[in-house]
Structure 1
């Protein structure tokens, strides 16, 4: 659902190629602001973060400073997806992801890894694989464990499998992983990730929890079945790419049903579309901005109502309206995030704070 782009700045041979990761210079950061003790995250009782663009962190001081001040958790928007990290069978590219991890370390932020296994953002060599299932199983395992091992002790948590279900229904998506490895590839992905870093928290991540019961129940049944089998799964990620006119009942059901698993709950990719009708030529008005604030408040309030030990945090998908994937994907104006394109807080920012008051 999200746009995909990355910049390859440094190539290094990975574990699959040479049995160990090749050494390369530590990423050199531009001046990083000190660890923030205020900002939005400091006003909330759970972590608050954003999926961030590494090129903007590198090159845009306003963007970098805003993330440093307002967030205490970050996710790579694209830099940790399969095609970015593993562009060919015996090649792993670490530079962008390492840069982001170093930025997080210097500015006191948790890093959530996104994503190990997905049906999109796949390099052609994986998408078009035509070898044996046994060989592909080894590739699958090595891919997961090379990446998780590389970031062991630096990345706190992972979206191990992302979007395994079809768009609206409760059926498993016929991805290359499922076609070759069978339905239980999901369980094995979690096992392999846990072997590589037993301390990392492992999440199943998907969208559509708030659409209605069909897909939501399929996701919950999968997660509960993994948990019942003793598969090392620690949390459920609810993307929550939602819209201003989604019903209160559906939003509440999505959050409370996820919490009913007993696992940690991460609202992992939150944005609220204000123009889902894709109307051309409109602008954000004060009334529309206030409506968005009430929706952010409602979601945060519902999330704050689940048990504290299950509150992994809320993450927005990118930082400002100017960086959001939504307008480009929909082909129409939209303003889905708490900050405007000029890096200023919108009423939604205050709505998030009011959600925990």
Structure 2
């Protein structure tokens, strides 16, 4: 069966659900979570996935969650933890491995929250994606406001990479080593990226080499948004990575984030774009998928909006499945209860595959059907 035919069949199924108002599946109650889940036999996402293909979720915590009116989600929400372990075969710390969280002071590392995620993954037979080592954002104030020389900055970065990657040596499958290195025109972000501005573009190769030395078995990735299709930004990455590979830099993969909005069209050339990087001998991945929609004044999604969202999720997954080296697909959180979207995009939201009450949306069923049919 072709992917086009598969997408058509799932679209029909979603449309049927909308027409009959069965827009969401049953919520998982706290009691069900304690008893091992709802009493039905439908496969989970990870059970539906083809062999060797991992389906993942970001693990909520840190970052914007610190300022929200709820306890830290991962250690405190039992239903959330139950579904995280049941539905997914891969986890990505949403914020718990970013600089400001894991390295809050120059001589202090806070590994506890990320360690708990890695332990959880081992207990639930999941792989872990590390996120992230080199980024312009979410750096601690002691670093961004410090009066460091270039030599000192380089040593600080080197120590961070060896300390963090070394701490998780053998326990991280893929690392987002360099995150969001290019601007929309495909040029290096030398203005707002502290590392590129102060140390020059050669620091990118250094960080990949350091990460490889710290954990030779982890796959090392570039990761960015706005590179789902063939455009100036993804062209820039193709050129940059080609040059690094020619110099023997240990780059293993390229991943697209997949933060989409129903305001805009879908990147139909996703598979063709991923294939360009696969042709370089790279692993590819889709790492941060969510699909936000316009909900002014806290409005509820309409059936048409949920159907369009399901279509976007499905087509993202299809694009990954169409490329042999794309073996990892991660949603950036699975419940609206803890989504980052409403915090950063006013009047947009409902971007994940489950409601805030853990009800399954058409997007969830579209992913599950696509995974099952690919199997």
Q: Which residue of structure 2 lines up, in the alignment, with residue 338 of structure 1? A: 353
CA separation of 1:217 and 1:338: change in aligned 2, threshold 3 A: same
Shift of 1:194: 0.6
The alignment covers a number of residue pairs equal to: 320
Higher RCO structure (Cα 8 Å, ≥6 apart)? 2
Q: Distance in 1 between matches of 2:279 and 2:312?
A: 23
CA separation of 1:258 and 1:342: change in aligned 2, threshold 3 A: farther
Superimposed CA distance per residue, residues 206-257 of structure 1 (whole angstroms, 9 cap, x where no aligned partner): 1111365111111221122222221111111211101233234344444333
CA separation of 1:262 and 1:333: change in aligned 2, threshold 3 A: same
Does 2:278 correspond to 1:263?
A: no
SS in 2 for 1:91: coil
Identify the match of residue 97 of structure 2 among 71, 75, 80: 80
Does 2:305 correspond to 1:300?
A: no
Does 2:140 correspond to 1:133?
A: no
Q: Distance in 2 between matches of 1:185 and 1:58?
A: 36
Q: Give the conservation status (yes or no) of the 8 Å contact 1:110–1:156.
A: yes
Q: Distance in 2 between matches of 1:256 and 1:284?
A: 34
Q: Give the conservation status (yes or no) of the 8 Å contact 1:32–1:107.
A: no
Superimposed CA distance per residue, residues 41-79 of structure 1 (whole angstroms, 9 cap, x where no aligned partner): 111121001111243121001110110110010000010
Q: Distance in 1 between matches of 2:129 and 2:154?
A: 25
Identify the match of residue 49 of structure 1 among 56, 70, 74: 56
Q: Distance in 1 between matches of 2:346 and 2:169?
A: 39
Q: Distance in 2 between matches of 1:72 and 1:158?
A: 16
Q: Give the conservation status (yes or no) of the 8 Å contact 2:224–2:255.
A: yes
SS in 1 for 2:130: strand
SS in 2 for 1:125: helix
Q: Give the conservation status (yes or no) of the 8 Å contact 2:44–2:368.
A: no
Q: Which residue of structure 2 lines up, in the alignment, with residue 92 of structure 1? A: 109
Q: Distance in 1 between matches of 2:148 and 2:341?
A: 37
Shift of 1:323: 1.3
Q: Which residue of structure 2 lines up, in the alignment, with residue 58 of structure 1? A: 75
Superimposed CA distance per residue, residues 290-336 of structure 1 (whole angstroms, 9 cap, x where no aligned partner): 221122121211211111xx123101111212211112211114211
Q: Distance in 2 between matches of 1:58 and 1:42?
A: 24
Normalized against structure 1, the TM-score is what? Answer: 0.84
Normalized against structure 2, the TM-score is what? Answer: 0.80
Q: Give the conservation status (yes or no) of the 8 Å contact 2:320–2:327.
A: no
Q: Give the conservation status (yes or no) of the 8 Å contact 1:32–1:106.
A: no
Q: Which residue of structure 1 lines up, in the alignment, with residue 365 of structure 2? A: 350
Measured on the aligned residues, the alpha-carbon RMSD in Å equals: 2.1
